Structure 1
Amino acid sequence: MNGSPKIPIKNIYYMLCYAWNVLEQSDNIFLGSEKFDNIYNLFARIYINGTSSLIKRGFSRYYIHENEVTSTLKGKINISDSIKTHIFYNGSMICQFDDFSEDIKLNQIIKATINILIKSPQLDVNLRKKLLKTRLHFSDIRDIKLSKALFSSLRYNRNNYHYRMLINISELIYYGLITNEDDNEFSFSDFIRDNQMAKLYERFVLNFYRVHLDGTIYNVHSPKLKWNLDEKINEKDLSLLPEMRTDIVIENKFKNTQLIIDTKYYSQTLVSSNWTEIEKVRTAHLFQILAYVNNSNFTGDIKGMLLYPTIEKEINANFPILGKRIEIRTLNLNTEWKDISDRLLSLVL
């Protein structure tokens, strides 16, 4: 029997905090002992707590350049446009001015996300009421539709970094939970799509090690590896080779060891073939981690690891191949958070 990895909703919250580097914000939107039966209630609670903190702090504002028809002078007159439109004859003019406004992309995205959550049929009634009350604070913010281009255009700095957790939740809802949007009506998925969970899983593991491993001993990064070619080739041919972008690389500076971890978020850890019912490691996964290990230019001891979420049973398999050690490991995400933390640390320490 196979299925998507089972993850308690609370553990997804912790994974989000690590994946998005917002552990320092988790206290501001702490969920306490509250239990959640679906992902929408979790996100709604995060939004209620997060926007409460945002409202107390005050919405971020930017200067927005405005062109407005008015009967009173505001800023400077746009003489050219006023003449072209003959608006002077009506006793009005077009003025240009900079408005210090809270009607900016970050606040618009948050309002749009609140509107989406309110429409979710799975949302708890009390949480919906709280979101409706929260939305009143966004009355001066325009309604917009979320889009890929909108999220791509965002830039963070020290003045708006506190928005990041809420915006990332918005992005995850947009990409991972909404299956269809038509005339402001939404179709909702019961679970976050596996492709989005795979990204979350990878980022969580990477940042977990960045947070918990001693930086004076370990170097945790995710470098792009170069192919160890026998001879130099032209750029055109080189561009045909697949990129080797690692998920997590952990180097022990004192022991001179390198561990390359490739996270795999799949509903099946092992698979059978047309020729046998015996379940085995996916060939593509094994070849991928072998390519990483064999092309690493690290001068010390190198080993690779495929890290899957636990589906039915834990796997701790080791394969010595061509002088390199390849490990297959699983991480049970359906357990207490301390057990998850201990398991991850045991893979390295």
Structure 2
Amino acid sequence: MYWKLQFNKNNQTHQMLISICYLILKGLLQTTSDGRTKLMDFLDEQCMCRLYEKFILEYFKKEHPEVKASASQIPWDTDDGYREMLPVMQSDITLKQRDRTLVIDAKYYAHTTQKQYDVNTLHSGNLYQILTCVKNLDTENTGNVSGMLLYAKTDELVLPNNNYIMGGFE
């Protein structure tokens, strides 16, 4: 069955209902009764990660119209403007309000931290990624750009909930 539908102002009110029908037909809804598990556990993590990112973006668009929410590309801040062969830097969510910008990198992992020698730490690649986005977006070093790693909550005992200031960036 073909599910690549285009929604516009004439049919967008049906988008959620059609999406629920898709989940039902694909067997992804496990139950309609109250409980802890709503989606089948066999959804792959990459699919759920993308759904998580999209949900957060659409949440801000709908619930916070005072903020401009987008998933934008961030240009590399090269000294000479030469960007050939540099990869695309894509934010999951970028929120702008007046002169302030928040870049959110949404993460959906079974384990939000890594553990080595009985010490839980954040994934270093995630920190490098968000810091790179923030530094390249704040080309004039105003300090008006911040970054956030937003992890989906898990049942783990250790959950990240920290603020850091690195190189003048929050």
Decide: shared fold, TM above 0.5: yes
Residue 60 of structure 2: aligned partner: 209
Query: 2:125 & 2:164 partners in 1: Cα distance?
Result: 16
Query: 2:23 & 2:47 partners in 1: Cα distance?
Result: 7
- Structure 1 residue ranges (4+ consecutive) displaced by more than 6 angstroms after TM superposition: none
Identity %: 30
TM-score, reference length from structure 2? 0.76
| Match 2:3 to one of 151, 158, 164 | 151
Q: Which protein is richer in helix relative to its size? A: 1
Q: Deviations over 1:223-280 (max 9, x none)?
A: 11111112233xxx72x32211111122231xx321111110101110024xx33121
Residue 219 of structure 1: aligned partner: 68
Query: 2:55 & 2:152 partners in 1: Cα distance?
Result: 12
Residue 251 of structure 1: aligned partner: 96
Conserved 8 A contact 2:71-2:93? yes
Q: 1:176 Cα shift?
A: 8.5
Distance change >3 Å, CA 246–CA 175, structure 1 → 2: farther
Aligned length: 156
Q: Deviations over 1:162-206 (max 9, x none)?
A: 43223323445677849xxxxxxxxxx832432222122112212
TM-score, reference length from structure 1? 0.40
Distance change >3 Å, CA 176–CA 213, structure 1 → 2: same
| Match 1:190 to one of 40, 43, 47 | 40
Distance change >3 Å, CA 175–CA 290, structure 1 → 2: farther
Residue 163, structure 1, aligned to residue 6, structure 2: no
Conserved 8 A contact 1:175-1:196? no
Q: 1:314 Cα shift?
A: 4.1
Query: 1:252 & 1:155 partners in 2: Cα distance?
Result: 29
Conserved 8 A contact 2:112-2:159? no
User: Amino acid of the residue matched to residue 133 of structure 2?
Assistant: Y
Residue 307 of structure 1: aligned partner: 150
Q: Which runs of 5+ in 2 are unaligned?
A: 30-38
Describe how 1:292-303 pairs up with structure 2 within 5 A: 292-297=133-138, 300=142, 301-303=144-146
- Secondary structure of 1:224's counterpart equals coil
User: Amino acid of the residue matched to residue 87 of structure 2?
Assistant: P
Distance change >3 Å, CA 157–CA 212, structure 1 → 2: closer
Residue 268, structure 1, aligned to residue 117, structure 2: no
Q: Which runs of 5+ in 1 are unaligned?
A: 1-145, 179-188, 326-349
Query: 1:297 & 1:231 partners in 2: Cα distance?
Result: 17
| Structure 1 range deviating more: 292-301 or 221-230 | 292-301
